[in-house]
Amino acid sequence: MNIISRSFDPKLVEWRNVTDPDCKEFKVDFDYSLLGYDIKSGRLDMLLRYASLSHCRRHRHVASTLTMVLEGEQHLTEWQLDGSKRSISRKKGDYALAGADALPHDERGGESGGTVLLSMHAQDGILFEYFDENMENGWTLSIDEYVDNWEKGLIYGQKK
């Protein structure tokens, strides 16, 4: 495993900011930090940090994902197979485990923001599938792409 940070202390890790001014439905503005990875085994660990009520991009986890809320809150709106939506709220200390091929969702911090740990395992190397505001035009992000972008100082998950 390649370790980038030996700590998950928000004051000690390197943060990179992601925004998407093209998203008109909600404010995409969050930080992320790569903690470590093992490309051969398909593992990647990272932190996400949300400012007050800010979102990450609309996506679904293709990789099996452990989520732990370290600070604040995490809120999700998940699209169900029948077209309905389900709201999920997690607070500091909450833990969740989702299998591969999770449902698409919007994800944001609470009123005071939030910081979460994600530990992902992707047998085929694909971590996420992203969607536009109409839940169309999906594109994926692999561990290889994520690590390559990190090493080049770029932001992961940008549309190609």
pLDDT, mean over the chain: 87
**What is the chain written as a DSSP string?**
-EES-S---TTTS--EEEE-TT--SS-BEEEEEEEEEETTTTEEEEEEEE-TT-B--SEEE-SEEEEEEEEEEEEEEEE-TTS-EEEEEEETT-EEEE-SSPPPEEEEEEEEEEEEEEEEE-TTSEEEEE--TTS-S-EEEEHHHHHHHHHTTPPTT---
Q: Is residue 32 part of a domain?
A: yes
Evaluate whether residue 25 is within a structural domain. Answer: yes
Averaged pLDDT for residues 91-117: 91
Considering only residues 135 and 36, tell me which one the structure prediction assigns the higher pLDDT: 36
CATH classification at residue 132:
2.60.120.10
Half-sphere exposure of 13 (CA within 13 A, CB side): 24
**113 domain-assigned:** yes
Q: Evaluate whether residue 156 is within a structural domain.
A: no
Q: Would you state the pLDDT for residue 157?
A: 56
Residue 5 lies in a domain: no
Q: How far apart are CA 52 and CA 16, in angstroms?
A: 17
Number of domains in the chain: 1
pTM, 2 dp: 0.88
Q: Which domain holds residue 108?
A: 14-151
Domain for residue 4, yes or no?
Answer: no
pLDDT tens digits along 116-157: 999 999 999 999 887 767 666 778 889 999 899 899 988 765
Higher pLDDT, 59 or 66: 66
Q: Does residue 129 contact residue 94 with C-beta atoms inside 8 Å?
A: no
Q: What is the pLDDT of residues 11-30, one digit of tens each?
A: 899 999 887 777 677 777 78
What is the rounded average pLDDT of the residues 85-104?
92
pLDDT at position 126 is 92
Asked whether residue 8 carries a pLDDT value surpassing 70, the answer given is yes
Distance CA 105, CA 65 (A): 14
Q: Is residue 68 part of a domain?
A: yes
* Residue 58 domain-assigned (yes or no): yes
Q: Please report, to the nearest 10 degrees, the dihedral formed by the alpha carbons of residues 140, 67, 28, 80 taken in order.
A: 70
Q: Average the pLDDT over 100-125 and give the result.
A: 90
Residue 160, pLDDT above cutoff 70: no
Percentage of the chain beyond pLDDT 90 is: 51
Phi first, then psi, for residue 80 (nearest 5°) are -85, 160
In terms of Cα–Cα distance, which of 16, 44, 11 is closest to 31? 16
